[in-house]
Amino acid sequence: MKRSTLSIYILLATTLALTACGDSENSQDIEQGVAPVPPPVDSSTPFAELYNQGIDRYLGAFFPSASDTSNTGGTLHYFDVDPEQGPMCFTGNQFYMATRDGSTDELLIFVEGGGACSATSCEIAVESPFPGGVPTRGIMNPNDTMNATADYNMAYIPYCDGSFFSGDANHDSNDDGETDRFFRGIQNLSASLDVIFNAYPAPNKIVLAGNSAGGLGTHFALPLVRKLYPLTPIELINDSGIGIATEGSLSAAFDYWGASPFFPESCETCIGEDGNLTGYHSYQLNQDDNLRMSFLSTKQDSTVSAGMPPEEFESQLLGAVAALEDAHPDRFRSLIANGDGHTFLQRNYAASVGDVTVSQWIANFITGSNNWATVIENDAPDNNGGTQQMLTLLYDGLERSYLLTVPSEYSENIPVPLLFSLHPLGATAEQFFNVTQLDIIAEREKFILVTPQGVRGAWATTGFPPGGDADDIGFINALIDKLSTSYNIDANRIYATGFSNGAFLSIDLACNLSDRIAAVAPVAGVMTSTLMQSCMPKRPVPILQTHGTNDPLLPYESAERVIDYWVSFNQTSSTPEIIDLPDPYPSNGTSVQRFTYANGASGVTVQHLRIEGGEHDWPGAVGDSDINMAEEVWGFLKRYDLNGVINH
């Protein structure tokens, strides 16, 4: 399958640049293809029926083609793309996973989420792993003293198989005679777990956690983890992927993905008549008495309850967790919050649910505390920060979606700023939302954050054919109108940021919606030559442009041309003030300089963050950068409105 050369998810350029693996004995074993040797299976072995059905068929079959130890997010392990079999993304893009050493003998395996590819639509499914190592967010944050897994060895399994990590099938979706969908979820899991076993062969405890699609994915990973680690206690955390669905929808999806053989044939209730997976979760607890399980969700999660009335989702959710706890009172608990938000483990880890924070509840769980108890939040106003809702807008004949985040202290009596956050090519709004952590800033600074979804994961920007032909500038304009009727938006303080293809669109908005967009902050994105020639803003537009000098997809010189354009248009000083920013991670090979072109018309500036040695990523997303991009974005944008610099 052909892949866009501008997609940030293509890791081929990175892979070709890799040299040798790390120097550790485990890294050498991984590179040489040393397969783990699980013990034999008999009738008393947990999940023996699933092994007999072949769920473990790919363990020991695939090994990384290269590993990169230069990233402070840990070691990245890349797998060659093979259209016939092997780890890969459902689009044919390359798959990778990551490990990061801790200081204890415990192991956290985190399974990422990111949408699903159905027989009819793949628009909300992540097409490739987000580049980087093990994230430093929430449960994976090694620097958070409140995080009970901070010092664990960590393994991160990105999501791009489109099948909740369950698939084992290929399809020709458009009947043109060529396979174009590769559901390799079980292969991705198996290959990743082989790497993990080689790196960490004897943990005292395993925490197997995941969110959204990855939350459900933990249940497909569980039998494989148990096969490799037959005696190790496993603590499973399913965050917002509990398997509540409309009747028949999951069964049809598993059939399409080739995942149905990975449900035990003897378990007639594993997929219930109501369409839910409660029976499968109970089956797993019955099979494995060295397993404990915890579920997290909001009562009316708007991301996973699509097609179901919120009240019905809540009723089925509460019934499912009650049934699981009744059947397994010592080994199952749940944390259920009010509202319709989605996921906790990465971006809402410090949120309070009832009288406990998520991080403390998780700590109680994995440490075996007597304080680990089910929490069902009372029907009262949400108290876990702002609310997130996935909403839709019919525009230009298309139903467009967007993730809306409203701060908890929003008041209709006070005008609030509005920030658009625009995802990269091939991504989903939800995935980019999780990466940027702009919602944390939005809650603190009290602005409304909107993370829209592009058509087929792309933005149609001037002079960029891979983005398609949707009217995305008109869509953003219509969104401003819609939100302004529902909320007290400060019309003078509407901003845009974005990454890669999303950064292209943010600049396009500065050119074509300058009467509404006060300032922009593109990251790793530039102006096409067509836009450079046609861009005619109605006013000076402040811009913060961030770019890495080693960007393999968009050369640094293209960023310099963007800076030159806006310096000229905004009539700023042509000579910048240059400041070297602190370098907290000197070993990662990157450093940052801030260029400020001041004294422009209406007091605007052009600012540039030059990341020396930086590649094509959102800085700070995976712990391999010297800056927090979310803080930089808002710190710049908030100084301006449509009239220029804000004088306080």
Partners of 545 in the beta sheet? 608
Higher-pLDDT residue of 72 and 564 is 564
Q: Are 12-376 and 387-642 the same fold in CATH?
A: yes
- Mean pLDDT calculated for residue range 395-410: 92
Tell me the per-residue pLDDT of 185-227, one tens digit each, with 9 for 90 and over: 999 999 999 999 999 999 999 999 999 999 999 999 999 999 9
Q: What pLDDT, on the 0 to 100 scale, is given for residue 4?
A: 29
387-642, which class in CATH?
alpha beta
Distance CA 244, CA 323 (A): 13
Q: Which range, of 29-43, 436-450, 547-561, 614-628, averages the lowest pLDDT? A: 29-43
What are the C-alpha distances in Å from 8 to residues 97, 442, 447?
16, 25, 28
3-state secondary structure of 298: strand
Contact 412, 363 (CB under 8 A): no
Residue 621's pLDDT band (cuts 50, 70, 90): low
What is the per-residue pLDDT for 340?
Answer: 83
User: Looking at the predicted structure, is the pLDDT value of residue 564 above 80?
Assistant: yes
Please name the fold of domain 12-376. Rossmann fold (3.40.50)
Q: Contact at 8 Å (CB) between 239 and 349? A: no
Q: Which of 79-93, 305-319, 622-636 has the lowest mean pLDDT?
A: 622-636
- Tell me what pLDDT residue 41 has: 67
> Can you give the three-state secondary structure of 2-30, one letter per residue?
CCCCCCCCCCHHHHHCCCCCCCCHHHHHH
Lowest mean pLDDT among 49-58, 117-126, 519-528: 117-126
pLDDT tens per residue, range 339-382: 888 899 987 888 888 889 999 999 999 999 999 999 999 864 44
Write down the domain spans for the chain: 12-376, 387-642
On the question of pLDDT at 640 being above 60, the answer is: yes
pLDDT at 15: 27
Least confident of 106-115, 316-325, 389-398, 628-637: 389-398
How far apart are alpha carbons 295 and 298 in whole angstroms? 10
pLDDT score for 27: 42
Which of the 8 DSSP states describes residue 506? H
Q: pTM of the prediction?
A: 0.71
Query: What 3-state DSSP class applies to 398?
Result: strand
Provide the pLDDT confidence category of residue 386 given band limits of 50, 70 and 90.
Answer: low
CA dist 313 and 309 (Å) reads: 6
Residue 25 confidence (pLDDT): 38
Q: What is the pLDDT of residues 264-305, one digit of tens each?
A: 999 999 998 888 999 999 999 999 999 999 999 999 988 888
- Tell me what pLDDT residue 38 has: 67
Rounded to the nearest integer, the mean pLDDT of the chain is: 88
* pLDDT recorded at residue 385: 52
pLDDT digits (tens, 9 = 90+) for 146-166: 899 999 999 999 999 999 999
The predicted pLDDT at position 623 comes to 43
Q: How many CB atoms sit inside 10 A of residue 22's CB?
A: 18
What's the confidence (pLDDT) of residue 205? 98
* 29, pLDDT greater than 50: no
pLDDT at 3: 28
CB 474 within 8 A of CB 512: no
* 626, pLDDT greater than 50: yes
Phi first, then psi: give them for residue 512, nearest 5 degrees.
-110, -10
- Single-letter amino acid, residue 520: V
Instruction: Give the residue with greater pLDDT, 120 vs 411.
Output: 411
Q: What is the pLDDT of residues 488-500, one digit of tens each?
A: 999 999 999 999 9
